[in-house]
Chain A
Amino acid sequence: MLNVDNIELHYGAAQALRGVSLTAQPGKVMTVLGRNGVGKTTLLRAIAGRNPVSAGTISFQGQDVTRTRSEARARGGIAMVPQGREIFPLLSVKENLETGFARLPRRERTIPAEVFELFPVLKDMLSRRGGDLSGGQQQQLAIGRALVMRPDLLVLDEPTEGIQPSIIKDIGRAITFLRNRGDMAIVLVEQYFEFARDLADDYVVMDRGEITLSGTAAEMDEDEVLRRIAV
């Protein structure tokens, strides 16, 4: 499904990713763990096509997308929930959700019911401006917007960052629901260890742009992982 193979990425002279490989499969959550600044966000941006890689390949649904632009990857079915959410503050909640329509044929341009089932609060706020929502509501909106795209791959960058506990639970439930439905691959970058562990099927731990540990969640050596991600 998603196959990241040995990618390198540079910001000018600085190398942000070194030989990173990772896969994601439908119905599974691949979790990326690591401290601040080790390249987790960069990896997601590379997957979504927002930063070009300098070596290695990224393939998605059997096609090489390494040089494909971000909008074409989105059309192919990669949806991103970026760090800091990046909802459109001056657009209403409804309009924010409708920005997810671009890849859909005209007759499928509806907001799927599951968005409001997972995040009922959005339904009550459809005409509010995105910027007027609380941080947690904005995060739910960003995930809802990604789901409107009916993606095959959902990448989430620290969805719990700065969010109150009750909404973190909602977000966790939503990710579990999407995973169990079985048709979507999920890559989750997370610093909140317990949240990530509970959702993960597979995991990788990153440090200084490299993957230093990986495996299935069932066989995870928690102490070792915690030691590597502790600040």
Chain B
Amino acid sequence: MSMILLIEQALNGLQFGVMLFVMAAGLTLVFGVMGLINLAHGSLYMIGAFAAATVAGLTGSFLLALAASLAAAAAAGAIVEIAVIRRLYARDHLDQVLATFALILIFSEGTRWLFGSFPLFLDTPDWLSGPVELPGGILYPAYRLGIIGVGLAVALGLYLLISRTRLGIRIRAGESDREMIAALGVDISKLYTLVFALGAALAGLAGALVGAIQSVQVGMGEPVLILAFVVIVIGGIGSIKGALVASLLVGLTDTMGGFLLPIAFAQVMEPANAMLLGSALASMLIYILMAVVLIVRPSGLFGVRS
């Protein structure tokens, strides 16, 4: 095992982690502020990817494609919040799960109807398609470094938004006492639509960023949604900081586990068996991580004890 390979895998884990953060941030924000479980968050991810692929196909510009992913997912989020989601805040979580599951089906079939079942492809832009030489002579794809950069920028931006702005004060105040924040003259429905659209825009951005590495197709959001739920449960539901730490943890655990476990098992058994057992265990690793965190801290790493 070479050092270079190890660092490469760590960077892959980091890239996977920040992408999960961009996805999970909106989910945890919506749960923290509105108390809503939104299964359709993965659909917004898909909408972002499709919008990006469409606009990139029409204009050839990757930056316009990213802007389109943000705009399309935010608009879809705002429409869905106003039409459906705001009727669910007062209901219990089971109703929310059922209704947002229905939204997944509607969005998936709607997308299939518009774009067909074949995957679309979104190419990485020329100026990010080559490798970059990192210190130590490591060659790493520029596009993946770009994702890491965007993810960290989103984290910083969200931190500043939540901790430094008036909107951030309202979001945090609304998290702890929505009745009181309304009694202070804040228009709660507008605030909720805004928060939901913000979370949706981030999901759309994540979809577009990943769409250029994988393919853009119906159903692409659901596997990521499950991982995003794992992330927010580990991080503590409602905590942005927790989502950041947990997504890096999950990204690194998943990637490094898949890389290191087969190597470790190969020390004590035949390579073929080690490969089999190692990758089987690796795919369970993040769920084991979640279980351990929940045993030690039932409300997650940064969760507020209720």
Contact = CB atoms under 8 A, between A and B. Distances in A.
Q: Are A and B genuine complex partners? A: yes
Interface of A: 48-50, 69-71, 74-75, 79-80, 82, 86, 88-91, 95, 98-103, 145, 149
Interface string B180-213: 1111111110000000000000000000000000
A71 B180 contact: no
B283 interface: no
Nearest to A77: B185
B86 interface: no
Contact of A74 (B173, B177, B184): B184
Contacts of A50: 179, 183
Contacts of A79: 184
Contacts of B182: 69-71, 74
Interface string B146-180: 00000000000000000000100110110111011
A100 B183 contact: no
Nearest to B175: A90
B25 to A, nearest CB: 18
B218 to A, nearest CB: 40
B184 A100 contact: yes
A95 B177 contact: no
15 contacts: A50-B183, A74-B185, A79-B184, A80-B183, A82-B180, A82-B183, A86-B177, A86-B180, A88-B172, A88-B177, A90-B176, A91-B169, A102-B185, A145-B184, A149-B185
A138 B177 CA distance: 15
A74 B183 contact: yes
A131 B186 CA distance: 21
Contacts of B172: 88, 90-91, 95
Contacts of A82: 180, 183
Contacts of A98: 166, 169
Nearest to A94: B169
Most B Cβ at <10 Å: residue of A88, A95, A145, A149? A88
Contact of A71 (B169, B173, B185): B185
Given A71-B188, A89-B176, A48 B169 contact: no
A71 B179 contact: no
A89 B172 CA distance: 10
Contacts of A80: 183
Contacts of A75: 185
Interface in B198-249: none
Given A88-B172, A90-B172, A99 B179 contact: no
A71 B184 CA distance: 6
A95 B163 CA distance: 10
Contacts of B166: 98, 101
Contacts of A71: 182-188
A91 B173 contact: yes
A91 to B, nearest CB: 6
Contacts of B173: 88, 91, 95, 99
B170 A99 contact: yes
Contacts of A101: 166
Most A Cβ at <10 Å: residue of B170, B180, B187? B180
Given A88-B172, A89-B176, A91-B172, A99 B183 contact: no
A6 B104 CA distance: 49
A84 to B, nearest CB: 10
Contact of A95 (B169, B175, B179, B188): B169
A53 to B, nearest CB: 16
Contacts of B185: 71, 74-75, 102-103, 149
Contacts of B187: 71, 102
Contacts of B188: 71
Most A Cβ at <10 Å: residue of B179, B180, B182, B184? B184
Contacts of B184: 71, 74, 79, 99-100, 102, 145, 149
B176 to A, nearest CB: 5
B5 to A, nearest CB: 44
Given A74-B184, A86-B180, 12 more contacts: A49-B183, A50-B183, A69-B182, A71-B183, A74-B182, A86-B177, A91-B173, A91-B176, A95-B173, A98-B166, A102-B170, A102-B184
A132 B166 CA distance: 22
A8 to B, nearest CB: 22
A80 B166 CA distance: 21
A98 B165 CA distance: 11
A48 B172 CA distance: 22
A30 B103 CA distance: 51
A80 B179 CA distance: 11
